[in-house]
Structure 1
Amino acid sequence: MQTADPSALTSRPRGAAAAYGSVIRETETPRDIEYRVLARTTDQLETAAQPGAGPTALPAALHDNRMVWTAFAADLASPGNAWDDAGKARLISLAAWVVAESERVLQGAKPPNALIEINRIIMRGLKPAPLMQPEGTA
């Protein structure tokens, strides 16, 4: 997906985050940044789904998650994106589903579980588990 400025996906950095933003962009790969942004919004969704989270937690988490997926879709649709057309189409379709599912959650028709699971699936694809080496090899 490789968004151009992932730090702006959910909020503007303040303080130390602003100072270290350029360092992060220079040392992290686009996949690392996408993973981190998805992990943050997924954590927001999980926290907002807990009892006692407060009345604004879920709408705020849904908004941030939609902004991430909207940025992903915009990046996928940009001319310089290297994904193949079929992959782009699938991910853009998934982004549209996220927006629609978010609306269903906001209306109280569904919990955010499916949104959380989709984010986790994409996160696993961005940062797959390391391969285990057989014992005795290095």
Structure 2
Amino acid sequence: MCNKIKLFDCVAILLSVMLSFLFFAGYAMAGAPEKVDCQAEIEWDLTSEVSITNFGCKTGEHKKDPALIFTAELKNVSDKPLRYRINIFLLDMDKAAGHLVPRKGKPPVVEPGKSETVTIPFIKTSELSKKILVIVKTMGL
């Protein structure tokens, strides 16, 4: 009887751990864009009020310096005007950059149903990252 209880407890704990892993993995991938043009393992952490419709990365130049350049198109899927903060972390290179979307405006917001494209360069970075984390949050006005 004692061994059966221990086995039941072990199975219950293992099942709980597996379900929580699937929940959090699904949450991290919930906002992944349909079109991604970037050869990297990307983790997405997006607010429910935004959709990334297009995301890409490439190497190039920014003001005559080599750069890894990211392009993201953010769409406001809420029913109110919002401003966003996008952060991109190159996890295997210990680098990060961020941008306000939109950067300017009166008021600086993306209207419901509208999209805004932003370019984020990592200056003096000449190679593609293999592990990337993208975070998008809403900002207060």
Q: Please classify the TM superposition score into its range, dividing by the shorter chain length.
A: under 0.3
Q: TM (normalized to structure 1)?
A: 0.26
Q: TM (normalized to structure 2)?
A: 0.26
Question: Is the helix fraction higher in 1 or 2?
Answer: 1
- Larger Rg: 1 or 2? 2
Question: Is the strand fraction higher in 1 or 2?
Answer: 2
